[in-house]
Amino acid sequence: MVNLRRDLAAGGIFFLYGSLRLLPRSAAVLLCRALGRAAWVLDGSGRSVTLSNLEGAFGEELGQDRRKAVGSATYVNLAANLADLSRLTRLSGEELCSLVAADEESFGRLEDAVSLGRGVILLTPHLGNWELLAAYLANSGLKVHFVGREPYDRRLDSLFKAVRTSHGALWMSRGGAFEKLREVLGQGDLAILLIDQDTGRVKGTFVEFFGEQAWTPTGPAALARLMGSAMIPCALVRQPDNTYRLIIETSLQTVKTGDEEYDDWENTRRASLAIESLVARYPEQWTWFHRRWRTRPPDDWVMPGPPRTAARLESPSPVEGKP
């Protein structure tokens, strides 16, 4: 039965992918939005998790009707991403650029950080179209590495890699990625990392996310500490006309006390707050159906504190500290 479900799922993905590529973009977006609305109605368990997460994150700020509207929009926006991902391998660089608006000031901040030669860690949530983000930045001339999970079915491997590496982006599997990331950051490249999901199989810690402790990977903070790389929050968000806007925030200020455990925790906390800010601004585009707070802190868990014997040093962002 498990194999049958996987066969049907894989077949459905290939069929949908091929069908969307045949349609004009406007028609593909409309179809995907309809599929997203249907998924919201049919996915009872996901809908329940979504509404519960929204209530926990926003409390009385969002009434029941508003939570339902945001939850439905989450499914619709995620489905709409498929319209562009399905045709990404056949889009010209010019066509890809026409889908994205990026202001020169924010993109200049990113280029300044890259120019320092210590590598850049782009922190993006599962918000907007994070897969398209890698393709757009690579198409803009940056050396981009994107870290993600292997597809659940090996038959989808070639399809996923073709989409993810189109326009020059380089994809690497999450397993064993840390040492590879040290290498590419050492070369001055750019790495896109996502830390907004409960991935218990990677090294992490508990930091607040919408007021609740959430298990969060510490890899980006450790890489920034070891390599001197900037950590820059960013997102590629959908606009009402179904184009995208590239948001590139200023580099995070990080602490460096000499206590590696505390530094990685504190800098992960700061990264999580930056991600939370992006999600709070665009709640209709984040994956609320993910069980973000599934892993709970053990009873004996203690929040790390700064070392008593070391001065707490604030490290300016590499861009701000550029002479």
Instruction: Tell me how far apart the alpha carbons of residues 53 and 248 are, in angstroms, rounded to a whole number.
Output: 26
Instruction: Tell me how far apart the alpha carbons of residues 112 and 106 are, in angstroms, rounded to a whole number.
Output: 10
> Which band of pLDDT confidence, cut at 50, 70 and 90, is reported for residue 175?
confident
Instruction: Tell me how far apart the alpha carbons of residues 58 and 108 are, in angstroms, rounded to a whole number.
Output: 34
Q: What is the mean pLDDT of residues 279-295?
A: 97
Nearest to 171 by CA among 192, 200, 194: 192
Q: For residue 31, what are the contacts with CB-CB under 8 A and spacing of at least 6?
A: 20, 23, 83
Supply the pLDDT for residue 319: 54
> Which band of pLDDT confidence, cut at 50, 70 and 90, is reported for residue 3?
low
Q: Which residue has the tokens 């550029």?
A: 322
Supply the pLDDT for residue 316: 55
Name beta bridge partners: 231. Answer: 121
Instruction: Tell me how far apart the alpha carbons of residues 137 and 202 are, in angstroms, rounded to a whole number.
Output: 26
The tokens describing 175, both together, are 């397993």
Q: State the pTM of this model.
A: 0.91
Instruction: Tell me how far apart the alpha carbons of residues 138 and 145 are, in angstroms, rounded to a whole number.
Output: 9
Q: For residue 153, what are the contacts with CB-CB under 8 A and spacing of at least 6?
A: 6, 9, 10
Q: What is the mean pLDDT of residues 169-181?
A: 87
Name beta bridge partners: 213. Answer: 208
Q: How far is CA 245 from CA 73, 110, 152, 296, in A?
A: 18, 15, 30, 35
Q: What is the mean pLDDT of residues 191-199?
A: 93
Is the confidence at residue 249, as pLDDT, over 50? yes
Q: What is the mean pLDDT of residues 30-55?
A: 96
Supply the pLDDT for residue 188: 96
Would you say 131 and 54 are in contact if contact means Cβ atoms under 8 Å apart?
no
Is the confidence at residue 1, as pLDDT, over 60? no
Q: Give the mean pLDDT of the chain.
A: 90
Is the confidence at residue 86, as pLDDT, over 70? yes
Query: For the stretch 184-210, what's the b/e string if a residue is b when 16 or more beta carbons lie within 10 angstroms of its beta carbon?
Result: bbeebbbbbbbbbbbbeeeebbbbebb
Q: For residue 104, what are the contacts with CB-CB under 8 A and spacing of at least 6?
A: none
Q: For residue 172, what are the contacts with CB-CB under 8 A and spacing of at least 6?
A: 145, 146, 147, 180, 181
Q: Which amino acid is at 80?
A: A
Nearest to 32 by CA among 44, 14, 17, 50: 17
